[in-house]
Amino acid sequence: MTKQFRILYKVCIILLAVIAAMALGAVILVAIGADVFKTYAVILFEPLKNIGLLSEVFIRMIPLTIIALGIAVAYRSGIINIGAEGQMAIGILTTTAVALAMPNLPKPLLLPLVLIAGAAGGALWGAIPGILKAKLQVSELLSTVMLNYIAEQFYTFCLRKPMLDPAEMMNGSGTPQSMRLTKNIWLTRFVPGTRLHTGLFIAIAFAVLIYFMLWKTSFGYKMRASGSSARAARYGGINVPAFLIIAMLISGAFAGLAGAVEICGVHHRAIQGITSGYGFSGIVVALFGGLHPAGIIPAAFFFGLLLVGGNMTQNAVGVPANMVQVLQGVIILVIVATQMVLSNEYLMERVWRRFHKEEKA
């Protein structure tokens, strides 16, 4: 079986999965009395018609890409991280805390510092389920989900008490948000008239970095070996528990970094609900992208398109914007089935033999 056939086989399966997801989504749209073709046209094509809307797609693509890269590292190492939402929230808090503590520090020093702080906050929060899994065999599915709730409540507390904008306290509205952060942490917006910022280049740079780390270094090989077969990895002398913890540190760091980039590039302050479900959507993006940076980038763009286009459906065709969440759920179900097909080496071998026979004939 050739490498080219393997790639072609996986691409075809993914394309069939996309078609299946769209077909199932169409059934749901028909059930609520929506025009399927108009709805899909709005979601998939309207955001591409002008630079302003397209830039919003890229803005949503940035945190999705960064989080999905971290999810891929964890998944490849044999641990499933469902806690990116909480790790992102903690990253936002540490970013905000450092920015508020040192507002007069020059931008060349403060901007890298707050990005590192965001990554460090997410890494520490991600390390907790990693240690519990490695040392006590606590299910990461349970620990990461519960830590999401803890992070959410702690985030809300910080925005309502120690980090609450003094102006909000004076006005009496009590809107949970921090004060506007210094411009020394703002990422540059490089397309005039839009909010698109240099976080896009950070996301792409880390995608390249993760590719080289996982597939071009012995360290990455050990991580993937731990995830592929823990027993065989142990037999080969690999410290599997250590790599589980390291994987969650990296995964949490990426989620925290995504929060830092979102603060520095878009909102410039911590706000209630700023995570916007990116932590959960990032899991879907990682799986949809085949847990590979080359697939995660277009998958993140596609989901950014869904998010922006979904927000336009209410006014354009009368379909509630939360229908996008329904479509995401459908896509998750299709992805699970697709992963089972892609991991079935016997099925791939059968297709290869049949294809090879037809080619000879």
For CA atoms 350, 353, 358, 361, the dihedral sign is: negative
- Do 209 and 127 form a contact (C-beta atoms < 8 A)? no
Domain assignment of residue 337, yes or no? no
pLDDT of 1 reads 66
Domain assignment of residue 78, yes or no? yes
Write out residues in the chain with pLDDT < 70, as ranges.
Answer: 1, 172-174, 328, 357-361
pLDDT of 354 reads 78
pLDDT of 358 reads 58
Question: Could you count the other beta carbons within 10 Å of the beta carbon of residue 186?
Answer: 17
Domain assignment of residue 211, yes or no? yes
Q: Provide the H-helix boundaries in the chain.
A: 3-31, 36-45, 51-76, 84-101, 107-136, 140-160, 166-171, 199-216, 218-228, 230-235, 240-262, 278-288, 293-317, 323-342, 345-360
pLDDT of 216 reads 94
Domain assignment of residue 101, yes or no? yes
Residue pLDDT, tens place only, 41-91: 888 899 998 999 999 999 999 999 999 999 999 999 999 999 999 999 999
Domain assignment of residue 191, yes or no? yes
Domain assignment of residue 297, yes or no? no
Domain assignment of residue 360, yes or no? no
Domain assignment of residue 358, yes or no? no
pLDDT of 172 reads 63
Give how far Cα 106 sits from Cα of 12, 266, 269, Å: 50, 20, 18
pTM above 0.85, yes or no: yes
> Structurally, how many domains does the chain consist of?
1
Q: Which of 220, 215, 188 is nearest to 201 (CA)?
A: 188
Q: Which residue has the tokens 């020059």?
A: 106
Domain span at 214? 61-289
Q: Report DSSP state, residue 49.
A: S
pLDDT of 90 reads 97
Give the whole-angstrom CA distance, residue 291 versus residue 107. 34
Question: Could you count the other beta carbons within 10 Å of the beta carbon of residue 192?
Answer: 7
